[in-house]
């Protein structure tokens, strides 16, 4: 009976992993095909679809825009979120629990509701610039990830260590830099990673804020998928998957991957 | 995205007098107030704003109309099927993941975690390749002799459910995993020493201890699946309308803001119900022991 339970659990895990990886791995062989369709098994081997990435209208531009927005939004969230987290942990703010819930609440909202609310508000105040609307909205999307992880690491940090460093002769800023920062770095890295991914992949909020010239990568990809689906898309996807794996390995080296489960 | 995914991290007990350091919270709060709370309030306001003042016409149209009621039910059903499928597969898998040793656990964890970080567009696109008439699944079944000619799978409800479970499964596995990992493996052993049968040990010891993770995973997957937009519209198109798809259509094509805002309010109510219900359950589970 015990064996049976364990057997079921392991079978389930193997099925889950194969099932999860199937749609991701399948795009890789398709991206090297010689044919112009997605037929499986792929025919021949060529890099033509990778060369065609450059020619796809607006794809590189969209990639650049998404990277820009994701990086800036993550940076702004880290700044605002960390200040807020420090205040909540150290400042004896009245209603700290309610404020914390408020700061992480965008995470619980359906993405489309958020997007529609922005769209309407931006029209109401006359902000028609897609770039700025995207940036502002994406700060809201990324804030909860930063708040959760930074708050988590700050709550576990013993501030007496900063005082200890100061008695040992460090100035206050130096003590913060050499004691506080290394201690909350894992929270920073995993928060920033999740924030970046949440912004970079966002579709439901962005779809209401883009315009003809300013399109983020997910929007552009979906457009392309609907208009002219060919293996170029598989090539782009393979590139994105490779990039993700690289970033994950990097984060694993920095803070350890399993700490991220607890975001 | 863990057991506490929908709850704020615990804070130390506040001290009595406010510190000047507390002012550091202001920029962040002010930002979210203006860019998040005000737009949301405006959206709710526009769902009850008619030509001449207050009206519930939007809600009447959404809840009174057969078609839109069907859409709401279809979304709830999609959420329910996705959640049960993910729970059925994810619960035992999370146990195996938590019991794996050392390097294996890191590797297996990475394999469950990786799909979370891959773009949903890429996954939906890949899922399309899997299910096509000339796709990998038909090719496999043909070669295994299970079928004689390719079967149409894409744009069927079964394909939609499979695609949804595929996208949201990690959100079920990870919260359960992080609860099970913290569980003391000696507890079931202790029950065994006391003569409990394996079935009794599972239903009375292991299962109750893992419930906080289950509640977190179920509420997370359900609220994500009920609001899903990209996966259903890519895998089914207009054939399976969800609340999110109606909202997108109302705002982008029909320019019918009242309809979209009322639908958004209904979806918001569903999400709030799930979040509040889950945190109440979580509190009972935590306090009952």
B13 touches chain A (CB under 8 A): no
Q: Using CA atoms, how far apart are residues A40 and A174, in angstroms rounded to an integer? A: 59
User: According to the model, what pLDDT value does residue A254 have?
Assistant: 78
Which value, in Å, is the radius of gyration of the alpha carbons in chain A?
22
B275 touches chain A (CB under 8 A): yes
**How do residues A179-199 score in pLDDT, each as one tens digit?**
888 888 888 888 888 899 889
**Residue B259, class by beta-carbon neighbours within 10 Å (0-12 exposed, 13-18 middle, 19+ buried)?**
buried
B234-245: average pLDDT: 85
Res. B2: pLDDT tops 50: no
ipTM above 0.85, yes or no: no
Please choose, from the candidates B40, B32, B30, B33, the residue with its C-alpha nearest in 3D space to the C-alpha of residue B271: B40
B75 touches chain A (CB under 8 A): no
Domain count, chain B: 1
Q: Give contacts of A23 with chain B, Cβ < 8 Å.
A: 123-127, 129-130, 166
CATH of the domain at B131: 1.10.3720.10
User: What is the CATH topology of the domain spanning A58-229?
Assistant: MetI-like fold (1.10.3720)
Beta-carbon contacts of B265 under 8 Å, excluding residues fewer than 6 positions away, are B43, B44, B47, B59
Q: Give contacts of A97 with chain B, Cβ < 8 Å.
A: 8, 11
**How do residues B141-183 score in pLDDT, each as one tens digit?**
888 888 888 888 778 888 899 999 999 999 999 989 988 888 8
Res. A2: pLDDT tops 80: no
Yes or no, beta carbons of B2 and A38 under 8 Å apart? no
- Coil vs helix vs strand at B53: strand
Give domain status of residue B91, yes or no.
Answer: yes
**How do residues A238-263 score in pLDDT, each as one tens digit?**
988 898 888 888 888 877 766 665 54
Q: Using CA atoms, how far apart are residues B266 and A113, in angstroms rounded to an integer? A: 10
Give domain status of residue B177, yes or no.
Answer: yes
Give domain status of residue B149, yes or no.
Answer: yes
Q: What percent of chain B has pLDDT over 70?
A: 92
Which tokens belong to B126? 């890949």
**How do residues B185-216 score in pLDDT, each as one tens digit?**
788 888 888 888 888 888 888 888 888 889 98
| Domain around B156 | 66-287
First to last CA, chain A: 35
* DSSP type of residue B14: P
User: According to the model, what pLDDT value does residue A140 have?
Assistant: 95
B132 touches chain A (CB under 8 A): yes
Domain boundaries, chain A: 58-229
């Amino acid at each position: 009976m015990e064996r049976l339970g364990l057997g079921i659990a392991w079978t389930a895990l193997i099925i889950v992993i194969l099932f999860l990886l199937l749609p991701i791995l399948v795009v890789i062989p398709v991206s090297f095909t010689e044919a112009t369709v997605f037929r499986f098994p792929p025919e021949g081997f060529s890099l033509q679809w990778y060369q065609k990435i450059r020619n796809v209208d607006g794809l590189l531009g969209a990639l650049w825009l998404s990277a820009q927005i994701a990086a800036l939004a993550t940076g702004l969230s880290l700044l605002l979120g960390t200040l807020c987290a420090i205040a909540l942990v150290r400042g004896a703010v009245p209603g700290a629990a309610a404020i914390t819930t408020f700061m992480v609440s965008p995470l619980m909202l359906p993405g489309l509701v958020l997007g529609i609310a922005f769209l309407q508000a931006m029209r109401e105040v006359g902000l028609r610039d897609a770039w700025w609307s995207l940036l502002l909205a994406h700060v809201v999307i990324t804030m909860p990830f930063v708040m959760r992880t930074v708050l988590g690491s700050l709550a576990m940090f013993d501030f007496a260590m900063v005082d200890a460093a100061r008695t040992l002769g460090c100035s206050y800023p130096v003590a913060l830099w050499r004691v506080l920062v290394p201690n909350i770095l894992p929270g920073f890295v995993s928060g920033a990673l999740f924030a970046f991914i949440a912004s970079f992949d966002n579709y439901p909020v962005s779809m209401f804020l883009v315009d003809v010239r300013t399109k983020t990568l997910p929007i552009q990809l979906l457009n392309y998928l609907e208009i002219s689906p060919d293996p170029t898309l598989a090539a782009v996807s393979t590139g994105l998957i490779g990039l993700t794996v690289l970033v994950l390995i990097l984060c694993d080296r920095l803070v350890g991957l399993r700490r991220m489960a607890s975001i | 995205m863990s057991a506490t995914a929908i709850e704020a991290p615990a804070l130390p007990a506040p001290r009595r007098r406010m510190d000047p350091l507390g002012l550091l919270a202001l920029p962040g709060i002010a930002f979210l107030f203006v860019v998040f709370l005000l737009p949301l309030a405006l959206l709710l306001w526009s769902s009850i704003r008619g030509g001449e003042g207050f009206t519930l016409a939007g809600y009447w149209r959404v809840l009174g109309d057969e078609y839109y009621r069907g859409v709401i039910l279809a979304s709830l059903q999609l959420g329910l099927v996705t959640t049960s499928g993910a729970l059925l597969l994810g619960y035992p898998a999370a146990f195996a993941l938590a019991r794996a040793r050392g390097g294996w656990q890191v590797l297996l964890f990475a394999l469950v975690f990786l799909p979370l970080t891959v773009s949903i567009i890429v996954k939906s696109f890949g899922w399309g390749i899997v299910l096509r008439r000339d796709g990998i699944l038909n090719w496999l079944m043909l070669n295994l002799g299970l079928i004689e000619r390719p079967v149409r799978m894409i744009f069927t409800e079964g394909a939609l459910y499979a695609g949804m479970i595929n996208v949201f499964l990690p959100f079920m596995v990870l919260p359960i995993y992080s609860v099970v990992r913290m569980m003391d493996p000696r507890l079931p052993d202790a029950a065994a020493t006391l003569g409990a049968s394996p079935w009794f040990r599972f239903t009375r010891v292991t299962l109750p201890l893992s419930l906080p993770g289950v509640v977190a995973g179920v509420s997370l997957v359900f609220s994500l699946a009920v609001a899903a937009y990209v996966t259903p519209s890519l895998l089914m198109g207009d054939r399976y309308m969800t609340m999110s798809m109606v909202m997108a259509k109302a705002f982008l094509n029909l320019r019918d803001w009242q309809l979209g805002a009322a639908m958004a309010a209904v979806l918001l109510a569903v999400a709030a119900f799930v979040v509040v219900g889950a945190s109440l359950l979580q509190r009972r589970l935590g306090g009952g022991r």
